Amino acid sequence: MAIEESISVMKARVEELKGIVEDQRGRKNEYAAIISQQSEALTACKDKCNQNREHREQIEEAISWYNKVLGFRIECGHGVKFIFSSISPKNPNEEYSFTIRHENEKYTLLNCDPHLSDTKELVYELNKTNGLFKFVRTMREKFQEAVARGITPHGSSLDQDSSIVSLSAPVASVSSDHRYESPLKERGLQFSESNSKSRKVGKGHIVHSPGSASSLRRSSRLKVTYMNVNG
């Protein structure tokens, strides 16, 4: 009788162990599936990092081209300041600039030096279409036209009338918050709140800028679409 009871206990123990083994096998398969998913996610993440690295290199190349050919740079402070040189043929180092701010899904032109008369219409169109880089390109062309009429910068000031349009922009592209970190800022461009003092040049000079819209469109080095200030 004792032997039969012992055998019965052993059989029960064997069945219990079989259940444990099956449970562990199920967990093993579950963990293997999780590991496989995580491995795939890691691979995708690495691929994206590589793509981002290539994208960043393309952006850096485009920025370098803009700085070299157009004398273009950006400063962050009270809004985002777009600065152009190589506008005046008599004084290529003379700087033309405007400061734009994006807040509450609305663009505001804080400052423009020299003052342009038709900026309100341009800002309205910017808020309507969210075409920031088309706006930047157009502003540069307006600066060229201003030079042709003998208008030169007078130095930055924030007491100029702001061009505010209440139409919301479709997507927020530019932040004026001091915490804003654009791709340009990450690459160590000259970001500061200092304003440049510019020398005045004579009036009546025609501009033949090497950085016109047509020449930029012909450039094969502009690989980054959303960085295309001239297109």
Residue pLDDT, tens place only, 190-214: 333 333 333 333 434 433 433 443 3
Contact 132, 175 (CB under 8 A): no
> What is the residue extent of each domain of the chain?
73-227
- pLDDT score for 1: 66
Query: How far apart (Å, rounded) are the C-alpha atoms in residues 100 and 78?
Result: 9
Q: What is the helix, strand, coil percentage profile of the chain, to 5?
A: 50, 15, 40
Q: Model pTM greater than 0.75? A: no
For domain 73-227, is the CATH number 2.130.10.10? no
